[in-house]
Amino acid sequence: MPWLQPDSEDLLSATSGLGDQIMAALAAGVALPASVTGAGLNSVVVAGMGGSAVAGEVLQAYAAPRSSLPVVLVNSASPPRFLGPGSLVFAVSFSGETEETLAVASAAVGAGAPVVAVTCGGSLGRLVAGSGGTVVDLAGRRPPVTQPRSAIGATVAPLLIACEGLGLLTGASSELRRAGEQLEVRRTSLSSGEGLAREIARQIGRTIPLFHGASGLGAVAARRWKTQVNENSKSPAAFGVQPEVCHNEVCGFGQQGDVTRQVLTLVSLRTGLEDAVMSRRFELFAELTAEALARVVDVEASGEGELARFFDLVMIGDFVSLHLAAREGIDPGPVPTLSELKLRLASGA
């Protein structure tokens, strides 16, 4: 019997298959129209919400030191005013029915922007296909996933591949391949239910985890750990970004230490690529706040390259969230509160 019970939506398999998602995306590629060239672009826009928005966060963090074009994230129904023919727009919606993403995609089509939809189909797929845009169809890909948050590899990889094909990035496909190889190694060590992720979950226990990552992909990983704990284990969590937390959050442990040391665990997420100054900030933050925390947990990624280490942290964190769910007998798949919220929004209740 699998160690994760109950698991009605088979999140254990989806989590274990992260590397397979990346390899499948590499094999499929992204076929853009010949009319779309990197020379004609002045910006990249990524529209997405919830689990689908992570794709934009990864692209933005990875492209920042590598691409001359700005990557703008849109986490609302309001498109940026500059949107036009020079904006490459990625509309990411697992279901294809996300209201906000549909609104931005529709505006992009109307503005004459080239649009790439990353979706299982739905209204978004029909809109973009009907306008002559590109649709990266996630439906039927293997391994199958039922939740947007479990499709991070399938949604991130096409954005990087497309930008590389346009000459906006270099080396992304090679880094993605190395990420897939690292995830195969990590899957072997985690799928049995033993090892690092189980131990981290044990240390967190019933405390509220505070995840820290360095600016860039480390910060994206920290936010990912936070949201996975929220959705998979139905528990509160928080995240912060170095070095910003050393300018404000570090001051917040001077009072109520008798409370915080019972309920807060600091989890420092390290890619292993941080410079000496950034590493020292992690160390000093932990030293200065340790007496007001239940404990401090350090997690360092493995792998060759920035994407490999980022996705390694993602897989570890995803398994940690599943272990936290298993400890409480919680089914990680369904998100009834989110479903109720969407229904009440739709009904106006």
Pairing of strands 264-270, 87-93: unpaired
pLDDT of residue 142: 62
Of 278, 283, 285, 216, give the one whose Cα is nearest residue 71.
216
Distance, CA of 34 to chain centre: 30
Query: How are strands ordered across the β-sheet holding 134-137?
Result: 71-74, 43-48, 87-93, 115-119, 134-137
Both tokens of 87, joined, read 């904006």
Alpha helices in 205-290 (DSSP H): 217-232, 257-263, 276-289
Which domains does the chain carry? 31-170 (3.40.50.10490), 193-328 (3.40.50.10490)
Tell me phi and psi for residue 29, to 5 degrees. 70, -175
Tell me if 96 sits within 8 A of 122, measured CB to CB. Answer: yes
Report how far apart, in Å, the C-alpha atoms of 311 and of each of 75, 185, 315 are. Answer: 22, 12, 6
CB 12 within 8 A of CB 144: no
Q: Which residues of the chain have pLDDT under 70?
A: 1, 142-143
- Whats the size of the chain, residue-wise? 349
Q: What is the pLDDT of residue 28?
A: 94
Which of 38, 111, 40, 53 is closest to 81 using CA atoms?
Answer: 111
Summarised one tens digit per residue, pLDDT across range 28-85 is 999 999 999 999 999 999 999 999 999 999 999 999 999 999 999 999 999 999 999 9
* Residue 275, Ramachandran bin (φ over 0: left; ψ between -120 and 50: alpha; else beta): beta
Sequence-distant (≥ 6) Cβ neighbours of residue 14 within 8 angstroms: 143, 144, 145, 146, 147, 150, 151
What is the C-alpha separation between 47 and 40, in angstroms, rounded? 20
Number of alpha carbons in the 13 Å side-chain half-sphere of residue 125: 13
CA dist., res. 127 & res. 133, Å (int): 9
Between the CA of residue 9 and those of 14, 162, 191, 333, what are the distances in Å? 9, 30, 16, 5
